[in-house]
Amino acid sequence: MTHDTTPTCRVRFEPSGAAAEVPRGATILDAARRAGVYLSTVCGGDGTCGKCRVTVREGDADAPPTPLLSDDQRRGGAVLACQARVRSDLVVDVPEDHALDTARIVVHAGTRPAEGAEAGSESGGGLGRGAYPFDPPVRKVHLAMTPPSDDDQVADHERLQMALRKYADVPCARVPMDLLRRLPGILQAAAYDVTAVVARRGDGAEVLAVEPGDTTACHYAVAVDAGTTTVVAHLVDLATATVLDAEATYNSQMHFGDDYIRRIMVAEEHNAFDEMQRRLAGDISGLIRTLAERHGADPACITAVVCAGNTTMIHFLLGLDARRIRRSPYVPAAAHVPAVRAAEVGLAVHPHGLLTCLPAVGAYVGADIVAGILATGLDQAPGLNLFIDIGTNGEVVLAGGEWMACASSSAGPAFEGSGIRCGMRAAAGAIERVAVRDGRLLWRTIGDGPPRGLCGSGLLDALAAMLEAGLIDRTGRFTDRAGPHLQDGPDGPEFVLVPAEGDRPAVVITAADIANLIRSKAGVFAAIEILMQMTGTDASALDAVLVAGGFGHHLDVRSAVAVGLLPDLPAERVRFVGNTSLAGARMALESRQALAAAERIADRMTYVDLMHHPGYMDAFQQANFLPHTDVARFPSVRQGAAGAAE
């Protein structure tokens, strides 16, 4: 028998104090993952993004040279965590811009009007769909049965079925063999006064459990939005039809990359698919435990979990093979997945509780988009309406009453602050608003503290403001007006938005950042263009544009139009609808009819593959200007754009 004699080293991360033991030669990033310390790794640990910079305060680490760190940074002990190898016990300082702030996660669905729209111009959560009846797919039914006697010798199984027909209008329910074997003992011990946990699926039903006494008052369910960046959960009391609470966390898979394609690649390279599954299931279980403890609820009383998310996240959660999602012909393992026992994927709820994942349309239009259409009622709305969810990808759904067409464009994580030199998530110190006043750029940070970087809304505002001020032209190149604020950086010229002060570095926007943002917005707008070309429609005819997700929640519509991300429409037609992925999951949790509607929505949507569409690249190239090559499409910004080009 052999033993691993590789020396181990202890790595402590400050200011959190979290620590981990790792083999000597492991990377600091390996140690951070083991210690549960988040370090931004846009590139997944390839050493190409420079986001995982940390400072080695004590100990010895081998760090290869990299142009992503300045000489001053290296002399101060800065290294890239993904490249630096541990050679001794270490104390590592983690910059505060790695900190994750759950307070900015959108945990509720809800609309707000666009900037400039009149108050009250939006209503409800979407486009006026009537509410579905409260009829959860999993119910608890109290069955007060008459015990057998010499005059009543009906078998236990049949007696249970008779009671279900009487009390729950369930004509015939499947009883699993393991429960059937235990059923006589349960009924006799409870004197035939029991509660049945019944799952309804279409016209069928299954008895998940039989519990002694009347336990109907202890009945909960959880709706989950399993996002690439964040995981959000709602706790619902099914006994009272009440949403009790919401909780959120960051997806701990972020240790392996900011976007899900990178995570698939890392999982393939390191055979880490099981790790991806455990992390996501652990995140959801952690939220469930927190919510249950907060309300004194027994997790064993949670009989149902309904989850929405993009196709990759659903594959990771269920342990399905996600590798072909990133390879032509981009076929997922499953789009419509039957409900499974939640315990099978490691969720800490009722041992026989069900996990239901909403259906997907395909590899790049997932259950989160289906949930969004369900929540907003877009599938039943009259007129012409557009739904946009911008994150790692930009998913777009165009609906014309009787039809729905959808597409996904690779927006990249730029709008979430990733892949941008000074980009960061929406947390304290992130610049979230930029505006032009008297020719000067003014900014505002989250929490009104010192600026540490730019989040997605700040980046979009900055792009629009720089165009308005004439600091960049319609191609995104810096103009002579920007000269006094430019400096040379490792990626070429960069605009100093906030000068350095003391130990705080400058907040800059590089030429590469601007090009990245323009490509991202062009991909989304081109997707809209292709769907409209294919359906013979025009943006001017849109009755409503619904913008979903965390990025949309903080978006300034004027900036989005100015740079050509959204069509140029009156502000009152734009609605910000919040976390519709979570809202749709909760609707399916509370109503079998809503769950059935989600299945129909997924089947009805026509998916347009932009990667193989002959007109997509032309539409994309035309959108690679600010706001577009055809400025006439943006009459509200034409004058400002023309002035910026002079």
Instruction: Please state the φ and ψ torsions of residue 378, each to the nearest 5 degrees.
Output: -60, -30
Residue 63 in any domain: the answer is: yes
The answer to whether residues 204 and 227 belong to one domain is no
What pTM value is reported for the model?
0.88
Which pLDDT belongs to residue 530? 97
Range of the domain at 24: 8-98
CATH of the domain at 159: 3.10.20.880
CATH of the domain at 295: 3.30.420.480
Contact 193, 182 (CB under 8 A): no
149 exposure class (CB count in 10 Å sphere: 0-12, 13-18, 19+): exposed
Q: In this predicted model, what pLDDT tens digit does every residue of 153-181 receive, in sequence order?
A: 999 999 999 999 999 989 899 999 999 99
The answer to whether residues 185 and 227 belong to one domain is no
Residue 586 in any domain: the answer is: no
Which pLDDT belongs to residue 99? 66
Residue 381 in any domain: the answer is: no
d(C-alpha 91, C-alpha 54), whole Å:
10
Which residue has tokens 């064993």? 300
Distance of CA 356 to the CA centre of its chain: 18
Residue 580 in any domain: the answer is: no
Contact 575, 122 (CB under 8 A): yes
Pairing mode, strands 507-510 and 492-498: antiparallel
Residue 577 in any domain: the answer is: no
The answer to whether residues 422 and 328 belong to one domain is no
Rounded (10°) angle between helices 511-535 and 456-468: 90
Q: Which of 345, 377, 403 is the last residue of a domain?
A: 345
When divided into structural domains, the chain yields a total of 4
The answer to whether residues 180 and 227 belong to one domain is no
Strand order from edge to edge, sheet including 486-489: 486-489, 492-498, 507-510
Helix (H) or strand (E) holding 398: strand 394-399
Dihedral angle computed from the Cα positions of residues 512, 517, 523 and 529, in that order, rounded to the nearest 10 degrees: -130
d(C-alpha 104, C-alpha 275), whole Å:
27
The answer to whether residues 341 and 227 belong to one domain is yes
Residue 498 in any domain: the answer is: yes
Residue 327 in any domain: the answer is: yes
Considering Cα of 195, then 201, then 205, then 208, what sign does the dihedral take?
A: negative
Which pLDDT belongs to residue 112? 42
387 exposure class (CB count in 10 Å sphere: 0-12, 13-18, 19+): buried
314 exposure class (CB count in 10 Å sphere: 0-12, 13-18, 19+): buried
Q: Which of 480, 515, 550 is the last residue of a domain?
A: 515
Which residue has tokens 């402590």? 12
CATH of the domain at 94: 3.10.20.30
d(C-alpha 476, C-alpha 462), whole Å:
12
The answer to whether residues 154 and 181 belong to one domain is yes
Residue 573 in any domain: the answer is: no
The answer to whether residues 190 and 227 belong to one domain is no
Residue ranges of the chain whose pLDDT lies below 70: 1-6, 42, 44, 97, 99-104, 106, 108-130, 411-414, 416-417, 552-553, 638-646
